[in-house]
Structure 1
Amino acid sequence: MEQKNITEYSINYEIKDHPSVKGLQIIEGKSNFPISWLNKQGYCEYQLYLEHMKGIESPSTPEMTHGSAIHKQLEDAFKQDAKKVSFEQTMEESKNEASMSRECFVVSPNNGIRGYIDEIWMKPEEIVIIDDKPGRSPYESTMNQVRAYCLAFKDMTGDKRKIKGALRERGTENLFWIEPFTEDVEKQIKFTIDRMHGLFDGTKPFIPTRNPKKCHSCRFKHDCEHAQ
């Protein structure tokens, strides 16, 4: 597949920072959160409250720093050989010839989500959306991230090709989980996204984890009244 570095998008939305929730934006008049927050939500919803509602800051863990370094290495290596193109050009050309891109931005004002896809394969017959993760275990939170990327891509493009979401072991070619983005999967992720919006607008409570192991390794354990 031809490598294409997407550097230009034709989208132009009205964007504002949310007045009270750190990292939340208002896009086209609706709250919009980063898709990566779904991973935090699956780990512990109260972590979202501490970091984004109360504004508590905590240093990155060694695992986070290491993961960011590997991610940057992969991105830099990709950019060396990739052709710079627009998102729209890539979409159109991929209907006849497969291409691969990294750090592809997607946004869905309708669903209130946005994010950067680690890697996307655009083929004439299908779209494959890949998120790189450490390890080889698919967790509900990481699967939900990929599902949200699929939803945002579908809503943003209106493309009729089949979409698949996949998790890949970081730094390898090992796709250890792959799932077609069906109507049932779409309904499921929309339900979770609606819950996320309910957390930030105050209509749903932040539920802390009941897993002591998660509390022990949490960056916010010293600021959390629910820590075990």
Structure 2
Amino acid sequence: MQQKNITGYGKEYEIKKHPDIKGVQIIEGKNNFPISWLNQQGYCEYQIYLEYMKGIETAPTSAMTHGSEIHNQLENIFKQDATPAKFEEVVETSKSEASMSRECFVISPSYGIRGYIDEIWMTPEEIVIIDDKPGRTPYQSTMNQVRAYCLAFKDMTNDSRMIKGALRERGTNNLFWIEIFTPEIEKEIEFTINRMQGLLDSSKPFIPTKNPNKCRSCRYKRYCEHYKKG
């Protein structure tokens, strides 16, 4: 499998920063948020409100720092042997010759999402989109994140090949969850993304988690009016 380092994209968009929400861009007249926020949404929607709408900043956890270090190490190793290529070129040539890329940027102005895929395998038969996570548990939030990557890739390329989403144990080759991106799954993730868009335009309320274990370990608990000690 050829290693391709994606260095550019054919289409560019006019991007404006949202005046009130950190991290949200306005592209083609629509709020566009990072796909990684779906993981945070599944943990607790109110975290998104505190961090990006209220602008509360906290120090990264040791797990976050360690994860970033591993991610950067893998990226540097990959680039040493990868061939530079444009995104459209990689997609087209993979229809006859398999390739893999890391940090593949995908964007969908129509759905209002964007993000970087940790690793993507493109073969003549299928596309496999992989997100690296600590542990081996496929949470709904992490599955939603991968599904949104699949949706953005499909919308961006209109590729007819089978698309699969997968979660991999960080730092290993263990794909502990994989699924075909079916029309039914596509509808489910569209519904979740639409809810996120409702949160951003204030047509839907941010719902805090009801799991006390999540609250106790939350780095925003000292700022959250929903946090109850004890």
TM-score scaled by structure 2? 0.98
1:192-211 superposed matches below 5 A: 192-211=192-211
Determine if the alignment matches structure 1 residue 133 to structure 2 residue 133.
yes
1:165-204 superposed matches below 5 A: 165-204=165-204
Q: Tell me the secondary structure at the aligned position of residue 38 of structure 1.
A: helix
Rounded Cα–Cα distance in structure 2 between residues aligned with 1:125 and 1:188: 24
Residues 184-210 of structure 1, C-alpha deviations (whole Å, 9 max, x = no match): 000000000000000010110000011
In structure 1, stretches of 5+ residues that fail to align are none
Rounded Cα–Cα distance in structure 1 between residues aligned with 2:219 and 2:184: 34
User: Percent same amino acid at aligned positions?
Assistant: 74
Rounded Cα–Cα distance in structure 2 between residues aligned with 1:215 and 1:192: 22
1:114-133 superposed matches below 5 A: 114-133=114-133
In structure 2, stretches of 5+ residues that fail to align are none
Paired position in structure 2 for 1:108: 108
Paired position in structure 2 for 1:225: 225
Rounded Cα–Cα distance in structure 2 between residues aligned with 1:209 and 1:51: 15
Aligned-residue CA RMSD (Å): 0.5
Paired position in structure 2 for 1:162: 162
Rounded Cα–Cα distance in structure 1 between residues aligned with 2:210 and 2:200: 21
Rounded Cα–Cα distance in structure 2 between residues aligned with 1:124 and 1:60: 40
Rounded Cα–Cα distance in structure 1 between residues aligned with 2:70 and 2:227: 31
1:23-172 superposed matches below 5 A: 23-172=23-172
Runs of 4+ in 1 over 6 A off after TM superposition: none
Q: Offset at 1:60?
A: 0.3
Q: Tell me the secondary structure at the aligned position of residue 105 of structure 2.
A: strand
Q: Offset at 1:49?
A: 0.3
Rounded Cα–Cα distance in structure 2 between residues aligned with 1:200 and 1:30: 11
Rounded Cα–Cα distance in structure 1 between residues aligned with 2:189 and 2:122: 22
Determine if the alignment matches structure 1 residue 22 to structure 2 residue 30.
no
Q: Tell me the secondary structure at the aligned position of residue 91 of structure 1.
A: helix
The letter of the residue matching 1:127 is I
Count of aligned pairs: 228
Q: Offset at 1:219?
A: 1.0
Residues 95-153 of structure 1, C-alpha deviations (whole Å, 9 max, x = no match): 00100000000000000000000000000010000000000000000000000000000
Q: Tell me the secondary structure at the aligned position of residue 66 of structure 1.
A: helix
